[in-house]
Amino acid sequence: MPKKTSAGPEPQYLKVKNHLREGISSGLWRPGDLMPSEAELVEQFQVSRMTVNRALRELTADGLVQRMQGVGTFVAQLHRIASTLTVRDLHDEIAERGHQHEARVHRLERIKATTEQAAAFGLKAGAALFHSVIVHLENSVAIQCEDRLVNPACAPDYLGLDFTRTTPTHYLLDVAPLSEARYTIEALLPTPEEAALLEIGRRDPCLVVKRRTFSRGQTVTTVRLVHPGSRYFLEGRFQP
């Protein structure tokens, strides 16, 4: 029986899309594998080629498959991971791809701000800041090292949270609604600590995103997000 929602039966293209997504998630088709052809999917689901084409277009946009004209559709390599230039919860991004997110907390502490750190928050040197270092994994592959400073006045419960069960982004967006975010993006080599945490070489290039977010005129957090270049790419989307 077709799945029902309040809006009626599930669209035909979603049946095809979800079938393929579940196959990728379960390992039926692994990165680099050739997927069923459009003709095979048309016959299997008894739908139009246009319907199949829409399902494949959406999977391509999600970064799960790659299409080669005249050759076929292939499961995308794991490192082809996309992120929009918005503040999103990495856990949600990974879940949307049908993959498993895991977080490993390496530091969760109170520190005294250096002069440079204090200036970013509009505080005096020596003021208290919360500090965390967390490595995020997708299907057991490390894709991000998150080194974050947090303003205690904006997120007083930060040190008491279990960040293996939630993410800093999820918590901070809840307690300090975002009003502004500023980014810098660079191609850099990892620090020795980052290389060890990400299990990569010291000479392996990384994509480094530095972000500062604000709520109600206050700096809430500054964060350095380091991504192994062989496992990650950043995709931006801007709309007027």
Residue 62, pLDDT > 90, answer: no
- 66 and 105 inside one domain: no
Mean model confidence pLDDT for the chain: 85
Query: pLDDT at position 130, please?
Result: 98
User: Identity (one letter) of the amino acid at 10?
Assistant: E
Residue 13, pLDDT > 60, answer: yes
Domain boundary at 21, 40, 75, which?
Answer: 75
Please tell me whether the overall predicted TM-score, pTM, comes out greater than 0.75 for this model: no
Per-residue pLDDT band at 235 (split at 50, 70, 90): low
What is the rounded average pLDDT of the residues 1-27? 72
- φ and ψ of 113, to 5 deg: -70, 135
- 98 and 184 inside one domain: yes
- 213 and 109 inside one domain: yes
- 190 and 104 inside one domain: yes
Domain boundary at 75, 109, 127, which?
Answer: 75
Per-residue pLDDT band at 86 (split at 50, 70, 90): low
Query: pLDDT at position 221, please?
Result: 96
For residue 97, the enclosing domain spans 90-228
Per-residue pLDDT band at 79 (split at 50, 70, 90): very low
Per-residue pLDDT band at 1 (split at 50, 70, 90): very low
What is the rounded average pLDDT of the residues 28-51? 91
Query: pLDDT at position 24, please?
Result: 80
CATH number of the domain encompassing residue 69: 1.10.10.10
Tell me, yes or no, whether 233 lies in a domain: no
Residue 237, pLDDT > 70, answer: no
Residue 111, pLDDT > 90, answer: yes
Per-residue pLDDT band at 6 (split at 50, 70, 90): very low
- 102 and 166 inside one domain: yes
CATH number of the domain encompassing residue 159: 3.40.1410.10
Domain boundary at 75, 105, 138, which?
Answer: 75
